[in-house]
Amino acid sequence: MAAPRDWTEIIPHRLNAALERVEGFARHLVVIERVDGLKRLRIIRADSWDEHSATFDEPAYTFFEERNEEYDAAVFRFSYSSLTTPRSVYDYNMETRERTLLKRYAVLADSIRRTM
């Protein structure tokens, strides 16, 4: 095992961010963190350490990772929702940075009225 002096820092500490989860893929690291209280999705290339963040269109939202079991995948699947967007499942291509909507759950007006 390498001594701490030989370690390479990949995800440095930031005062405004809390690391929630890291998913390892063959060519990418997916970092799920909270920055200023809002969940963020950051992608780091394993070969160059270049990174980017997936962007979301709404000012307040949440997302959570779906099952991503394929180690050699270039796609990360997650669910997203906000106050104006019902739960939606996306594939995010970590190479092209394109997001593909796979499913959007219906909002049933009758169930909303019954809870009020």
- Residue range 6-56, pLDDT digits in tens: 888 888 888 889 999 999 999 999 999 999 889 999 999 999 999 999 989
Quote the domain boundaries for residue 43.
14-115
Q: What percent of the chain has pLDDT over 90?
A: 74
Q: Identify whether 68 is part of a domain.
A: yes
Q: How many domains does the chain have?
A: 1
3-state secondary structure of 32: strand
pLDDT surpasses 60 at 112: no
What does pLDDT average to over the chain?
91
Q: Identify whether 73 is part of a domain.
A: yes
Q: Identify whether 40 is part of a domain.
A: yes
Q: Are 75 and 93 in contact (CB under 8 A)?
A: yes
CA–CA dist 21, 29 (Å, integer): 10
Write out pLDDT tens, residues 26-36.
Answer: 999 999 999 98
In the 8-state DSSP scheme, what is residue 65?
E
Q: Identify whether 4 is part of a domain.
A: no
Residue 31: CB atoms within 10 Å: 20
The pTM (predicted TM-score) of the whole model is: 0.83
Q: Identify whether 22 is part of a domain.
A: yes
In this prediction, residue 116 carries a pLDDT of: 54
In this prediction, residue 113 carries a pLDDT of: 54
Could you tell me how far CA 60 lies from the centroid of its own chain? 15
CA–CA dist 87, 84 (Å, integer): 10
Q: Are 77 and 99 in contact (CB under 8 A)?
A: no
**Residue 21 β-bridge partners:** 32
CA–CA dist 41, 78 (Å, integer): 10
In this prediction, residue 23 carries a pLDDT of: 95
Q: Identify whether 44 is part of a domain.
A: yes
Q: Identify whether 65 is part of a domain.
A: yes
Write out pLDDT tens, residues 79-90.
Answer: 999 999 999 999
Q: Identify whether 6 is part of a domain.
A: no
